[in-house]
Structure 1
Amino acid sequence: MTFKTSALRAGAFSAAALLVLTACGDNGEENGEEPDNGNGAAEENGTAEGDGEEITVEGDELTISLFGEEPYSWIDEETGEPTGATIAVAEEIFENRLGYNVTFEEEPTWDNLIPGLNAGHWDVVSAGMSINADRCEQASFGEPELVYTTAFLVADENAAGLETFDDLAESDLDIIALSGAIESGWMDDLGIEHSTVDSAADGVDYVEGGAADVFALTAISLESMAGDMEGLTVTAPFAHEISIGAHAFRHEDTELIDEFNAELADLMESGEYLEIVSEFGFTEAEMPPAGITAQELCDEDPEELTEQYLD
């Protein structure tokens, strides 16, 4: 399976810029470098403060980063255009409803999404990123949008009979996960030895090519990317703990977050949100539980939230 890493319109990072971001680490510091803000953030006050650096912003322009993982956000290989459930939502809210001029850029490495956000290379991350406490220290999230479950991509009709992470803990299989993804974090917590890859497509390729036995990822992603591939099996989805995705923003962009959340609430209440994302395979089952907030997902114990909100 080919993963298209060329950026849309404005272009992805150059190799040099990627090295700068890698040096940033998760806190997004620029090591003295002056951030290149691209098209700027969508605040109307003219500037925004990010990690001690002043970021000049343009009130009508937004740069939105996507990540190549179906069905959330990716570049269509035939049209070269951005597509996916989170992209459709971003276009509806930021372009159609709020009137921003939006540029999409693809970031091929998951671990660079938040550092690039805080460095000012883009203003919003539209990649179905799950809200958790570690990420909330680095970025702010819009209100919850999509509930995720986990599955495994395996070969040979799941000969090992894998169902949950408990089965992986007792196996001697070669296991991979997406670097920086929640599945990798859960396996770290459980003491499950595994390797990581930078892209979802790489994970699929590893299992297809026999370089790994198991790829752990969100169930709907595996079904979308590999569910029809001969010789591969996506196991039944399971919920290790509550996992809900949303759009990510810089902490200081409170006005933009409030604008987004107001329109998101309207879409959710009217049912239009489900209509938009259903085109990409999402159903009522993936809609967030009533009443849950991004703040809860940032602040409260995941196990308690799982018991409270999930059956």
Structure 2
Amino acid sequence: MRRTFLKGILAAGVAAVTFTAVSVQAGPLMDRIESGETIRLGFANEVPWAYPGENNKPLGFVNAYAIGVLKQMGYDNIEPVVTEWGGLIPGLKAIRFDVITGGMYILESRCENVAFSEPMGRFGDAFIVAKGNPKGIENYKDIKDKGALFVTGAGYNTVEAAKKEGVPEANILTVPGPTEILAAVKAGRADAGGVTYFTALNLAKESADEVEVTDPAALPDWTLNWVGIAFRDADQDFLDKFNAAQKEYLGSADMLGTVAEYGYTESQLPGDVTTEWVCSNR
């Protein structure tokens, strides 16, 4: 009888341990979903990557892509949360939203703070300069050698890139985002503005022919980057499911049709590069 009683206690203990382990595996995002709450998408105003439309409707190809993957997973109860670029990672960590869909490059420094999905695209940077490029600026070396003033966004990868290429910190002006970058170049407060190539094309279009875009191929090869969707480390369970769904969705006719209006094409597909590799090499 005693042996049977001890077996019962042991079985109950194992059950309790098993239950605890399962509970620990569920991250805060799955807890929200299971309680009927929204999946909150965090993004800034970065045309054509991710930006708000009427009533903060999530527009841009990264938003469209992420929403497509979520639908593939069976989720469509989403809520947009718009913030400045520099507030994206702090906002995610502070649980003000659940996913970063802003078009964020996967960088080693960011991998230390958030968990990225497998890459959803490969992209390059470029500069915007005054029409005619009067100072002949094509790359970071030109900025350094000519003592030019470089403007870019707070928290942008281009801040790290400029420093790595030897541009003095005193020659780097950081502003909230693309609108301010364009304004600085147009007003002559900066000689070149560093953004993604897609963003540069959009800014040139907005400028009424006052700025032009440099050749992205003039920048070092190592500045070519891959974009991922960012999650909190605690939501690894959800991220694993997202990656599985993304594998089926990425490059599909449905996906390419959804993002085509924003300029994303097959040439931007990420190839076989993994997030693990990018975190170690960018």
1:204 aligns with 2:182: yes
Give the structure-1-normalised TM-score: 0.74
Deviates more, 1:130-139 or 1:190-199: 190-199
Q: 1:134-171, CA deviations, whole angstroms, 9 ceiling, x for partnerless residues?
A: 10010000110121111111113112222222211211
Aligned to 2:5: none
Q: How does 1:282-297 map to 2 (within 5 A)?
A: 282-289=264-271, 291-297=272-278
Aligned counterparts of 1:200 and 1:100: Cα–Cα separation in 2: 30
Give the one of 200, 211, 217 matched to 2:195: 217
2:216 is paired with a residue whose SS is: coil
Q: How does 1:96-175 map to 2 (within 5 A)?
A: 97-108=73-84, 110-175=85-150
Give the structure-2-normalised TM-score: 0.82
Deviation beyond 4 Å, 4+ runs, structure 1:
43-47
Give the aligned residue type for 1:67. A
**Which one has a larger percent helix, Structure 1 or Structure 2?**
2
The sequence identity of aligned pairs, in percent, is: 26
- Superposed displacement of residue 101, structure 1: 1.0
Q: How does 1:1-311 map to 2 (within 5 A)?
A: 48=27, 57-59=32-34, 60=36, 61-76=38-53, 80-95=56-71, 97-108=73-84, 110-193=85-168, 194-227=172-205, 229=207, 230-238=209-217, 239-240=219-220, 241=222, 242-289=224-271, 291-299=272-280, 301-302=281-282
Aligned counterparts of 1:98 and 1:247: Cα–Cα separation in 2: 18
- Superposed displacement of residue 284, structure 1: 2.2
Give the aligned residue type for 2:154. S
Q: CA RMSD in A?
A: 2.4
1:143 is paired with a residue whose SS is: coil
- Superposed displacement of residue 49, structure 1: 7.0
Cα–Cα, structure 1 residues 191 and 252, in superposed 2: closer, same or farther, change >3 Å?
same
Give the aligned residue type for 1:250. R
| Structure 2: runs of 5 or more not aligned | 1-21
| Structure 1: runs of 5 or more not aligned | 1-42, 303-311
Aligned counterparts of 1:80 and 1:104: Cα–Cα separation in 2: 6
Q: Which has the larger radius of gyration?
A: 2
- Superposed displacement of residue 97, structure 1: 3.9
- Superposed displacement of residue 81, structure 1: 2.1
Aligned counterparts of 1:295 and 1:65: Cα–Cα separation in 2: 23
